[in-house]
């Protein structure tokens, strides 16, 4: 098999598994006999996989995204580059997989996970790019809890049909590295998602091995065999885990294509390089939220270097070639006779909602605060000084008191500042009141109240204020938004 980016951390999903599933159904209960003759309905156990560790969000602590297992370390800012040759097209092709641990996290099924960004290139052309999520439980086992693999056949984005995440649909996460891996441990589950026909199992076959790759020579290497029981003709992958480095080589047994990937570089990214990797991961995340129905049911990634990197274009869904409902104008008149029975109205499909509001003109996805304070028009005598120091100088604007608010409300000179908090559920009146309470007793806000009728206004000699639609008028808060997302796959599998 061609080892794709997803195979750095797990096996590829087989293409011809539906036939195997049909065989299982036809086999009946004889296939469901486990050890000791006991019947089992668990398809994972039927295929010989075990669950040595039970999964549950309660098993993970607040630092679950810090994966520091010596045989599978995922420190943020580390990058592994693998190179090999692929014969998927019948001829040898340069094959490169880059596996980068970003500085981002993502909460999956209540578990805070590390975000890994993988890029798979064949012959210099992008074949796949993926976000993969890993978390370490309190015991020390490393889990793969979700994957978003974007596929690029011919270099063109065609979607991410193999996306899965723990807590969404029928996906069951699996262990990628046991806390104490030992030879002789029963074959264990690495992931099971019936809806996309994905099942991977692993077996530890050797410890204390030695291996040399372009990135160096390593001892005390752990050797693991991985297979997909739904694809018995797909062969067995052989992964070599070195202490302090993780995976350093991937080979295959009984595979007609027989590709091997070897570690050629182990890099520690600079601050600017990590920033660029975080940005690319944010782009995948945003596109996944927009284009993938599964990924849209997860929360966005969290961490630095966030921004609006769209717009994004999702692949067109396959067009239907069958006309199921005739147009109203083409329906012939009903024949004479008794009226036909009226079928009960069909139950409308369940409406899908996102967990946030991301309309560009009304974004409610992030907690943002806008601070405002009213300001009265400056007296005419001070305008010359204000013009010299800049009209935005705080000295040129008197705080707006409650007593003068009505008279100056039509003034176009109120400006946003950072002293009065307007939060959700707070009216403009309460905001103004808070402003006046802070400025009470100042020369501009004495308790004498507004000028008596007929009394000259100190600013009466000034030119009249600008019209309310003047460019200097009060503007409403305008929050930046993060682009909608939904659309993936890579070397973390």
Top-confidence residue, 317 or 56 = 56
The Cβ of residue 179 has, within 10 Å, a number of other Cβ atoms equal to 15
Contact 97, 455 (CB under 8 A): no
Q: What is the average pLDDT across 349-369?
A: 57
What band does 394 get if pLDDT is binned at 50, 70 and 90?
low
What band does 469 get if pLDDT is binned at 50, 70 and 90?
very low
Residue 8 above 90 pLDDT? Answer: no
Top-confidence residue, 492 or 322 = 492
Judged by average pLDDT, the poorest of 203-217, 252-266, 414-428 is 414-428
Predicted local confidence at residue 23, as pLDDT: 35
What band does 234 get if pLDDT is binned at 50, 70 and 90?
confident
Residue 20 above 70 pLDDT? Answer: no
Q: What is the average pLDDT across 88-102?
A: 78
Residue 1 above 60 pLDDT? Answer: no
In angstroms, rounded to a whole number, what is the distance separating the alpha carbons of residues 412 and 404? 14
Strand extents, DSSP E, 19-92: 78-86
Q: Is the pTM of this model over 0.75?
A: no
Contact 118, 491 (CB under 8 A): yes
Residue 271 above 90 pLDDT? Answer: yes
Predicted local confidence at residue 94, as pLDDT: 83
What band does 96 get if pLDDT is binned at 50, 70 and 90?
very high
pLDDT per residue over 75-94, tens digit each?
Answer: 999 999 999 865 455 455 68
Q: What is the average pLDDT across 161-175?
A: 97
What band does 253 get if pLDDT is binned at 50, 70 and 90?
confident
Express the helix, strand and coil content of the chain in percent, nearest 5 each: 20, 30, 50
Judged by average pLDDT, the poorest of 179-193, 216-230, 315-329 is 315-329
Predicted local confidence at residue 489, as pLDDT: 38
According to DSSP, the β-strands at 111-122 and 93-108 are antiparallel
């Amino acid at each position: 098999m061609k080892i794709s980016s997803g195979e750095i951390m797990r096996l590829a999903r087989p293409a011809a598994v539906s036939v195997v599933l049909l065989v299982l159904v036809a086999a009946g209960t004889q296939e469901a006999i486990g050890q000791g003759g006991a019947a089992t309905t668990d398809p994972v156990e039927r295929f010989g996989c075990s669950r040595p560790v039970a999964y549950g969000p309660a098993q993970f602590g607040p630092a679950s995204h810090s994966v520091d297992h010596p045989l599978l370390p995922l420190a943020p800012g580390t990058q592994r580059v693998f190179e090999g040759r692929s014969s998927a097209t019948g001829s040898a092709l340069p094959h490169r997989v880059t596996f980068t641990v970003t500085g981002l996290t993502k909460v999956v099924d209540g578990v805070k996970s590390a975000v890994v960004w993988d890029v798979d290139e064949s012959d210099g052309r992008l074949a796949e790019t993926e976000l993969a999520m890993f978390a370490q439980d309190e015991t020390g086992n490393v889990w793969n809890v979700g994957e978003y693999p974007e596929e690029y056949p011919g270099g063109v984005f065609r979607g991410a049909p193999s996306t899965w995440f723990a807590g969404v649909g029928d996906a069951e996460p699996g262990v990628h590295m046991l806390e104490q891996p030992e030879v002789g441990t029963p074959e264990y589950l690495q992931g099971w998602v019936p809806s996309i026909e994905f099942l991977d199992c692993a077996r530890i076959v050797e410890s204390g091995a030695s291996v040399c790759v372009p990135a160096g020579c390593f001892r005390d290497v752990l050797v693991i065999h991985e297979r997909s029981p739904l694809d018995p003709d797909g062969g067995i992958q052989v992964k070599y885990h070195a202490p302090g480095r993780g995976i350093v080589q991937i080979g295959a047994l009984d595979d007609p294509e027989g590709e091997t990937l070897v570690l050629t570089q182990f890099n520690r990214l600079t601050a600017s390089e990590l920033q660029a990797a975080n940005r690319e991961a944010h782009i995948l995340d945003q596109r996944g939220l927009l284009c993938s129905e599964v990924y849209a049911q997860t929360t966005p990634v969290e961490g630095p270097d966030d921004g609006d990197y769209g717009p994004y274009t999702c692949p067109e869904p396959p067009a239907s070639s069958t006309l199921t409902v005739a147009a109203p104008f083409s329906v012939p008149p009903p024949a004479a006779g008794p009226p036909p029975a009226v079928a009960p109205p069909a139950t409308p499909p369940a409406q899908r909602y996102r967990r946030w509001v991301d309309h560009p003109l009304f974004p409610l996805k992030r907690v943002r605060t806008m601070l405002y304070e009213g300001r009265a028009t400056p007296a005419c005598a001070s305008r010359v000084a204000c013009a010299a120091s800049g009209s935005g100088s705080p000295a040129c604007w008197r705080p707006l008191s409650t007593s003068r608010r009505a008279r100056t409300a039509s003034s176009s000179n109120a400006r946003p500042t950072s002293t009065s908090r307007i939060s959700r559920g707070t009216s403009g009146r309460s905001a103004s009141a808070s402003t006046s309470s802070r400025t009470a007793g100042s020369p501009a806000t004495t308790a004498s109240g507004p000028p008596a009728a007929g009394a000259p206004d100190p600013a009466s000699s000034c030119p009249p204020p600008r019209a309310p639609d003047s460019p200097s008028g009060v503007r409403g808060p305008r929050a930046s938004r993060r682009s909608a997302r939904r659309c993936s796959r890579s070397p973390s599998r």
